[in-house]
Chains A and B, each alone.
Chain A
Amino acid sequence: MTTTYADSTTPGTHTIRPGAFGNATELRCRECGATSPLGAHYACFECFGPLEVGYDFPQVTREQIAAGPHNIWRYRELLPVPADVASFPNTEPGLTRLVRADRLAADLDLARLWVKDDSGNPTHSFKDRVVAVALTAARELGFQVLACPSTGNLANAVAAAAARAGIRSVVMVPHNLEQQKILTTAVYGGTLVAVEGNYDDVNRLASEIAGEEETWAFVNVNVRPYYAEGSKTLGYEIAEQLGWRLPEQIVVPIASGAQLVKIDKGIRELVELGLVEDAPYRIYGAQATGCSPVSAAFHAGNDVVAPVKPDTLAKSLAIGNPADGPYVLDVVRRTGGSVEDVSDEEVVDGIARLARTEGIFGETAGGVTVATLAKLVRSGKLDPAAETVIINSGDGLKTLDAIAGRVGPKATIRPTYEAFTEAGLA
């Protein structure tokens, strides 16, 4: 099948094919509720509020979903994608493993714990989910280039998805990003630009360029409403993998906050569609103290999130002005959870704890999540008897710097049995 993108028509004039966005019907402002037709819009024309996809869902059964592809397209009827989405090259992320984490649970005195391990996606983070949906929207809207500002994981996902789709990618990252994330983006051959600034600076630049380059789809800027929907699949999968039921507690790392908010949206959709039984659940947010504007707002009782200048080794979470921060506060307060933050030292301990108890090497965001889980247990804010799921959103191989110098060989010896015994290793 050919995968040519729309011709040189600009997105504004490109004709959208019937069913291009599946059961999605409109874009809706999350602030004022104003609606607009599906298209390449991301900010409300009335109040600048962020737009979200609205749907008219058909009746979907568990059997239909189970019969679908072994990736996120099994939920295509709940996403803004066409019915034939699986026939276009994409990275086909999703259905990552939900690991029963008994040893970590025992370490923390928890009854039942699972790790949703999204390091198993094609470029080893949850970002493949959102990019797969964004790439589909970009194709249907006639964009020619896939682009993004990123702290690394998104850069990997965009560069890989564009390579597979045969289109150009332009990815902008902070210049001081982890070397692993630079290389694992550059290898896919797109245009990688290092920007002298932090993520918020890069984000600002991308937003300005998005206003000028009409044929570029910045996945997390001008096609953000579609992109963000990809994170709902984390919520769907957790429920499906638990046997179509909801966990009682979920701990999610916060960067922009969109992942947490969309997991909640996904869960509520499953309840509305009768795919899972309605049951109370609590969602908790995890941040690193060096970039914890949402945690600060939560503890201060504020509805707005005051931006900060990040300073943490958890660079993938280092967004000082998180776009979905206020919505994270809404979700966490509505479900009875909380937002906590942990020190860089605790983050490294969290990485080691997950690796040494479960054999899962998470990146710094995973370390933040495990450390926050431990803090929630200590403080009594999380019920140790309730079923808990935590998200490991990316692979530790991408953030080796975080543990370099803290782990290493027990000994360096000559290649003799004598040396082995002398070193006390037997």
Chain B
Amino acid sequence: MSVKVRIPTILRTYTDGSSEVKADGGTLAEVLASLDANYPGIRARLLDDSGKLRRFVNVYVGEEDVRFAGGLDTPTPEGTQVSVIPAVAGGAR
């Protein structure tokens, strides 16, 4: 299944400056593997040594934060938008 992945500025050195790229996979884990095949090294920036999403990376599948869904097992249906966003801010008020 083909999905679109939005790439944050900090990772665009891997995608030749592209802010959005295509990837394949039925789950987030598969999408990240597909992404890494096309842009080697990018997955290691998103996952820590134990293979979990880094603490300061937020990944959304559609509008859902994957931490509220299935994490790396979150399904990524055809045409889904996946967004990778550094987990800053929160400084509301």
A-side residues, CB < 8 A to B, are 31, 42-45, 47-50, 125-127, 130, 149-154, 199-201, 203-204, 206-208, 211-212, 218-221, 224, 227-228, 255-258, 304, 306-307, 309, 316-319, 321-324, 326, 365, 393-394
B-side interface size class: 20 to 34
CB distance from A160 to the nearest CB of B (A): 15
A75 to chain B, nearest CB (A): 20
Interface residues as binary, B30-70 with A (CB distance below 8 Å gives 1, 0 otherwise): 00000000000000010000000011111010010101100
CB distance from B32 to the nearest CB of A (A): 15
CB distance from A263 to the nearest CB of B (A): 14
Q: Which residue of A lies closest to B55 (CB)?
A: A304
Query: What DSSP secondary structure best describes chain B's contact surface?
Result: loop
- A316 interface neighbour in B54, B55, B56, B92, Cβ under 8 Å: B92
Chain A residues with Cβ below 8 Å from B56 are 31, 43-44, 47-50
Contact assessment for A365 and B87 in the assembled complex, using a CB-CB cutoff below 8 Å: no
CB distance from A229 to the nearest CB of B (A): 12
Residue among B45, B89, B90 with the highest chain A CB neighbour number at 10 A: B89
Q: Name B45's closest neighbour in chain A (CB-CB).
A: A48
- How many Å lie between the Cα of A227 and that of B10 in the bound state? 20
Q: How far is it, in angstroms, between the C-alpha of A401 and the C-alpha of B6 when the chains are bound?
A: 39
Are A322 and B86 interface neighbours, CB within 8 A?
no
Contact B6 A150 (CB under 8 A): no
Q: Is the CB of A394 within 8 A of B57?
A: no
7 A-B residue contacts at CB 8 Å? A44-B56, A49-B56, A211-B19, A220-B91, A220-B92, A316-B92, A365-B93
Interface string of B1-43 (1 = CB under 8 A from A): 0000010111000000001000000000000000000000000
**A31 in contact with B55 (CB, 8 Å):** yes
Contact, CB under 8 Å: B91 / A258: yes
With a cutoff of 8 Å between Cβ atoms, the chain B residues found around residue A257 in the complex are: 90
Contact call B10/A153, Cβ cutoff below 8 A: no
**Chain B residues in 8 Å Cβ range of A31:** 55-56
Does any Cβ of A come within 8 Å of B72's Cβ? Answer: no
A135 to B19, CA, bound (A): 27
Assembled-state Cα–Cα distance A55/B54 (Å) = 28
Whole-angstrom CA separation of A380 from B10 in the bound complex: 46
B65 touches A307 (CB 8 A): yes
Among A153, A206, A211, contact of B89 (Cβ-Cβ < 8 Å): A206
Residues in chain B near residue A151, CB distance under 8 A: 92-93
Distance of A258 Cα from B91 Cα, bound (Å): 7
